[in-house]
Amino acid sequence: MNPVNYLYLSALLFTIGAAGVLIRRNAIVVFMCVELMLNACNLAFVTFSRLHGNLDGQIIAFFTMVVAAAEVVVGLAIIVSIYRTRHSASVDDANLMKL
């Protein structure tokens, strides 16, 4: 097996995650799909690190994880505060800024 298959898997996971973001309307599930896309990118970074034979790709994947953690914390806090005021976790209901 050629290790490039890891890249195909990564592309597939990223695509599934992107489709999930478009399809689902529960904000929590949308968030999970974003996490799936980030994970797919990490897999690609690690595979590229193997391709080039240096560790920079792994460092970038590490930074992606840090950013994902920060993003999840703030995003879930936003979801919880929206749920408190609007009693809904659906992204369709958060339309207060619509004209």
Partner 1 sequence: MMSLAASASQTSTGEAVQFWVLGTVAVLGALGTVLMKKAVHSALSLAGTMIVLAVFYLAQGAYFLGVVQIVVYTGAIMMLFLFVVMLVGITAADSLKETLKGQRWWAAICGIGFGVLLIAGIANASLHTFTGTGAANSAQGGNVPGLARLLFTTYVWAFELTGALLITAAIGAMVLTHRERTEERRTQRELAEARVREGTQVTPLPAPGTYARHNAVDIPGLLPDGTISEASVSSTLRERGQIRDVSRDALRRLAELDQRSEEWLERRGVAGASRWEPGRRKGLPGAGSGDDPADPADPAEHAADHAEEGAK
Q: Helices (DSSP H) in the chain: which residue ranges? A: 4-23, 27-52, 56-86
Any bridge partners for residue 90, and if so which? 26
For position 20 contacting partner 1 by CB under 8 A, the verdict is: yes
Q: How far apart are CB 71 and partner 1 at their closest, in Å?
A: 8
Identify which of residues 15 and 97 has a Cβ nearer to partner 1 in the complex.
Answer: 15
Neighbours of 61 (CB within 10 A): 20
Q: How far apart are CB 41 and partner 1 at their closest, in Å?
A: 11
Residues 28-57 that bind partner 1 (CB under 8 A): 28-29, 31-33, 35-36, 39, 42-43, 46-47, 49-56
Cβ proximity of 91 and 58 under 8 Å: no
Count of residues in contact with partner 1, rule CB under 8 A: 72
